[in-house]
Amino acid sequence: MRSAEREYLARLLEHYKGSIAPAARHALIDQATLHRKIRLHGLRPSELRRNGNAAGEAVKE
């Protein structure tokens, strides 16, 4: 279930280019909940805003 949620959130964030507010509206959850789920799954929407990294994946350093 967690991987399905992570995939959904990654696609959602990719679609909205990392923008939290419209992504949360689309998912019918509030922004705080979306932020919590993003952290839980290790996603990085800020990377989408900066360079379009696919699906907001965590950047490997």
**Whether 20 contacts 44, CB under 8 Å:** no
47 in Cβ contact with 56 (< 8 Å): yes
Judge whether 9 lies within some domain. Answer: yes
Q: What is the pLDDT of residue 25?
A: 98
- Amino acid (one-letter) located at 54: A
Q: Within a domain: residue 28?
A: yes
**What is the C-alpha separation between 13 and 38, in angstroms, rounded?**
9
Q: Is the pLDDT of residue 24 over 80?
A: yes
Domain enclosing residue 32, as ranges: 2-56
Domain count, the chain: 1
Q: Pull the structure tokens for residue 34.
A: 């979306």
Predicted confidence (pLDDT) at residue 49 exceeds the cutoff of 90: no
CA distance 55 to 60: 14
Prediction pTM value: 0.74
Lowest mean pLDDT among 8-12, 19-23, 34-38, 54-58: 54-58
Quick one: tokens of 54? 């696919």
pLDDT band at residue 2, thresholds of 50, 70 and 90? confident
Residue 61 in any domain: the answer is no
